[in-house]
C-alpha cells in the first residue's frame, strides 16, 4: 500500500489523503478510520493494475534488513518491502517485495548477490476478485463461545444465542483474524479458562494485532481493565478501528509499545491475564518482563510458536518463575498456558 498526503488547493487548511491498494480495501474499516480522524467518507475507485512479487532468502537478520533497504531505493520503486525470519531454526530470512510494474531482474540479482542472497524469484500476481476470495476463504471462526466474522458474514452473526460472543474482524494489514492456528488457539484457551470460572480483573494483550484477543476479554469481562499494545502503529490504528466497530469504545486502551515498555502498562500491573501471540524469539525475551508484570497466580496465554518450539519456550518461562498448566497444538502451531508461581 502507498499513501500520499496533499494540500487541498480549493480549501486551505484541509488535506487530501490518497491510498493505493494492491487488493480491494475493506470499506467498513475505511469508514471507521475516516470517522475516527474526522475525515469525509472515502471514495474507492478500482483501476486495472499489474502486481509483481520478488522473493529471496539469505542468512542473517542484518543482511536481510540491509537488502530490504537497498530494494526500497530501486527504480521502479516497490510499494512494499519486508524481511521476515523463517521460523524453522535454519537462521534464514526471507526478503519479499511488491512492485506495480515489472522490476529490474538484473538489478535485483545484483543487490541479492551483494548481500549473500539466493537469486530472486519474480512472479506476476494473477488478477483476483479479492472480495469474492475473502468471502470464500475467510468463513466465520468458532472458538467456544466466540464467533469471529467479517462484515460479509454479518447476517450469520445476528442469529447467535445469548451465550455467544460475536466479534467482527476484517482481514487487514494487522495480524489476527481468528483463522490462524495461533489466534484460534488463544481464543480456545481463554474460552476454557473463562468456562472454568477464571475472571481476571486486569488483562493485557501484548502484540495485539487486530486486538481480537483483547476484545474477546472485554466482551465477557465487563468490569475488567483491558489494555492492548503493539510495536507497530499501523496495528494499533487497526485495533482502535476494530474496537469501535465492535462497540467496545472506552473498554479497551490501545497503545504503541514494545512488549511491556509503556508507562500505562507499568501503571496497570500486576495483571491477572496476559495474551502474547507473537513469535518464539520475542516470547522468550518477554519471559522475565512477563513475570514482573503478572501477579502471583496470574496466567499468560502464549502463541505464535511452532509445535517444535513449544518445549524451548516452556523452559524459558519455567526458568522465569512459571508453571505450565495447558497446551493445545493446532496444525503446526502451539498455544501454551502458563501460571506465575
172: domain CATH number is 3.40.50.150
Instruction: Tell me if 249 is assigned to some domain.
Output: yes
Mean pLDDT (the chain, rounded): 88
- pLDDT of the residue at 22: 58
292: confidence class by pLDDT, cuts 50, 70, 90? very high
Instruction: Tell me if 44 is assigned to some domain.
Output: no
pLDDT, one tens digit per residue, over 155-210 is 777 878 889 999 998 655 444 444 568 999 999 999 999 999 999 999 999 999 99
CATH number of the domain enclosing 91: 3.30.70.260
- pLDDT of the residue at 157: 78
pLDDT, one tens digit per residue, over 219-259 is 999 999 999 999 999 889 989 999 999 999 999 999 999 99
Using alpha carbons only, how large is the chain's radius of gyration in Å?
21
The C-alpha angle with vertex 234 and arms to 210 and 306, in degrees rounded to 5, equals: 50
pLDDT, one tens digit per residue, over 24-48 is 676 667 777 777 777 887 877 765 6
Instruction: Tell me if 47 is assigned to some domain.
Output: no
51: confidence class by pLDDT, cuts 50, 70, 90? confident
Whether residue 133 is predicted with pLDDT greater than 70 in this model: the reply is: no
Single residue among 92, 124, 156 that ends a domain in this structure: 124
Number of domains forming the structure of the chain: 3
Residue among 97, 98, 93, 99 nearest 115 (CA): 93
pLDDT, one tens digit per residue, over 262-275 is 999 999 999 999 99
- pLDDT of the residue at 2: 55
β pairing state of 225-230 and 202-206: parallel
Instruction: Tell me if 212 is assigned to some domain.
Output: yes
Instruction: Tell me if 45 is assigned to some domain.
Output: no
- pLDDT of the residue at 37: 77
Q: How far apart are the first and last CA of the chain?
A: 45
| pLDDT, average across residues 50-75 | 93
Task: Kindly state whether residues 75 and 221 are assigned to the same domain.
Answer: no
Whether residue 8 is predicted with pLDDT greater than 60 in this model: the reply is: no
Measured CA to CA, the distance from residue 218 to residue 208 in angstroms comes to 13
User: What is the pTM for the complete model shown?
Assistant: 0.66
- pLDDT of the residue at 131: 52
Measured CA to CA, the distance from residue 254 to residue 208 in angstroms comes to 9
Task: Kindly state whether residues 277 and 235 are assigned to the same domain.
Answer: yes
| Domain range enclosing 153 | 132-340
Measured CA to CA, the distance from residue 81 to residue 97 in angstroms comes to 4
- pLDDT of the residue at 128: 62
> CA 116 → CA 66, 68, 89, 112, distances in Å?
11, 13, 19, 6
- pLDDT of the residue at 124: 92
Task: Kindly state whether residues 23 and 142 are assigned to the same domain.
Answer: no
Task: Kindly state whether residues 77 and 180 are assigned to the same domain.
Answer: no
Task: Kindly state whether residues 290 and 174 are assigned to the same domain.
Answer: yes
- 3-class DSSP assignment, residue 105: helix
Task: Kindly state whether residues 6 and 112 are assigned to the same domain.
Answer: no
Measured CA to CA, the distance from residue 332 to residue 308 in angstroms comes to 8
More confident: 145 or 159:
145
pLDDT, one tens digit per residue, over 79-130 is 889 999 987 888 899 999 999 889 999 999 999 999 999 999 999 987 765 5
Task: Kindly state whether residues 285 and 222 are assigned to the same domain.
Answer: yes
| pLDDT, average across residues 312-331 | 98
Single residue among 97, 124, 151 that ends a domain in this structure: 124
Instruction: Tell me if 41 is assigned to some domain.
Output: no
Residue among 77, 51, 55 nearest 64 (CA): 55
Instruction: Tally the residues of the chain.
Output: 341
> CA 311 → CA 48, 277, 306, distances in Å?
48, 16, 10
Amino acid at each position: 500500500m502507498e499513501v500520499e498526503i496533499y494540500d487541498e488547493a480549493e480549501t486551505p487548511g484541509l488535506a487530501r489523503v490518497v491510498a493505493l491498494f494492491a487488493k480491494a480495501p475493506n470499506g467498513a474499516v475505511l469508514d471507521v478510520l475516516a470517522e475516527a480522524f474526522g475525515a469525509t467518507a472515502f471514495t474507492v475507485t478500482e483501476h486495472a493494475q499489474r502486481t509483481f512479487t520478488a522473493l529471496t532468502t539469505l542468512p542473517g537478520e542484518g543482511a536481510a534488513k540491509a537488502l530490504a533497504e537497498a530494494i526500497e531505493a530501486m527504480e521502479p520503486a516497490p510499494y512494499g518491502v519486508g524481511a521476515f525470519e523463517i521460523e524453522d531454526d535454519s537462521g534464514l530470512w526471507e526478503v519479499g517485495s511488491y512492485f506495480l510494474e515489472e522490476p529490474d531482474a538484473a538489478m535485483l540479482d545484483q543487490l541479492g548477490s551483494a548481500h549473500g542472497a539466493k537469486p530472486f524469484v519474480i512472479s506476476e500476481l494473477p488478477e483476483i476478485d479479492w472480495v469474492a476470495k475473502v468471502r470464500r476463504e475467510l468463513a466465520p471462526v468458532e472458538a467456544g463461545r466466540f464467533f469471529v466474522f467479517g462484515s460479509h458474514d454479518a447476517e450469520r452473526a445476528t442469529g447467535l444465542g445469548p451465550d455467544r460472543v460475536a466479534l467482527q474482524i476484517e482481514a487487514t494489514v494487522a495480524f489476527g483474524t481468528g483463522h490462524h492456528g495461533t489466534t484460534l488457539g488463544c481464543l480456545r484457551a481463554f474460552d476454557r479458562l473463562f468456562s472454568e470460572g477464571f475472571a481476571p480483573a486486569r488483562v493485557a494483550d501484548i502484540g495485539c494485532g487486530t486486538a481480537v484477543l483483547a476484545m474477546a476479554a472485554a466482551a465477557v469481562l465487563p468490569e475488567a481493565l483491558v489494555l492492548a499494545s503493539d510495536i507497530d502503529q499501523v496495528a494499533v490504528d487497526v485495533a482502535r478501528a476494530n474496537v469501535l466497530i465492535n462497540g467496545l469504545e472506552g473498554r479497551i486502551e490501545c497503545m504503541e509499545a514494545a512488549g511491556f515498555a509503556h508507562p500505562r502498562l507499568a501503571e496497570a500491573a500486576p495483571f491477572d491475564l496476559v495474551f502474547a501471540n507473537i513469535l518464539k524469539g520475542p516470547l522468550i525475551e518477554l519471559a522475565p518482563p512477563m513475570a514482573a508484570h503478572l501477579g502471583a497466580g496470574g496466567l499468560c496465554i502464549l502463541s505464535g510458536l511452532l509445535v517444535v518450539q513449544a518445549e524451548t519456550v516452556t523452559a524459558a518461562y519455567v526458568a522465569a518463575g512459571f508453571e505450565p498448566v495447558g497446551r493445545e497444538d493446532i496444525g503446526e502451531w502451539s498455544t501454551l498456558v502458563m501460571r506465575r508461581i
